[in-house]
A = this chain, B = another copy of it.
Amino acid sequence: MSLYKDLKQECYEANMQLNELGLVIYTFGNVSAVDRENGVFAIKPSGVPYEDLKPEDIVILDFDNNVVEGKMRPSSDTKTHAYLYKNWKNIGGIAHTHATYSVAWAQSQLDIPIFGTTHADHLTEDIPCAAPMRDDLIEGNYEHNTGIQILECFKEKNISYEEVPMVLLGNHGPFTWGKTAAKAVYHSKVLEAVAEMAYLTLQINPKAPRLKDSLIKKHYERKHGKDAYYGQN
């Protein structure tokens, strides 16, 4: 029996959640879950429709993209997941989708401005949109380089992956992450909702102001600060 039965189950459930939340059609997305102790992660097999997916189809790989367990070819985006797990020690799950409003912002090559408290409840920065990849990187190890592109974006903008659990890849779409695979999917859904609200806001009022700093801080602190009073813990 597999050592990674629970990990596969976690990964499977998070992938199915992506589908149930209306964030993907067909096979346009994938979620992975990490096992830090064993230095491996579980990811959706490539091109398998959600209605056919079974927990035992999930592929296990190490952070250098060697398949540890599984008979199917892993997601074509696997190397991006591996690169992020290798470099960002505190994430437990990663999700990638082609959700409509998130993709529209990515195609617009614009950061999503922080317009309200729905956004500030989750992060205090504009949602970053990484510039389209440089041609020399595209020619090379594309999905690996996508990971490099994400890290460079966070370095340039001087933001932390622990505080900003999401990014838009210019002309492509969103990657999100979190402490668990389920939390990564949660961030994909939040991003899609915030992306739609920001789009509508600019349609109604092209001069809509950014949320002021005092409100950004207040909403984030009440959910995530040391005296947080949101939720049951």
Contact = CB atoms under 8 A, between A and B. Distances in A.
A46 B233 CA distance: 10
Nearest to A206: B108
Contact of A98 (B73, B118, B198): B118
A117 B231 contact: no
Interface residues of A, number: 61
Contact of A25 (B72, B142, B193): B193
Contact of A117 (B172, B202, B211): B172
A78 to B, nearest CB: 10
A97 to B, nearest CB: 10
B118 A230 contact: no
Interface string A208-227: 11011011001000110000
A91 to B, nearest CB: 20
Interface string A158-184: 000000000000011100000000000
Given A117-B171, A117-B173, A193-B25, A203 B199 contact: yes
Contacts of A156: none
A101 interface: yes
Given A133-B215, A197-B103, A171 B205 contact: no
B73 A26 contact: no
A92 interface: no
A204 B105 contact: yes
Contacts of A222: 76, 142
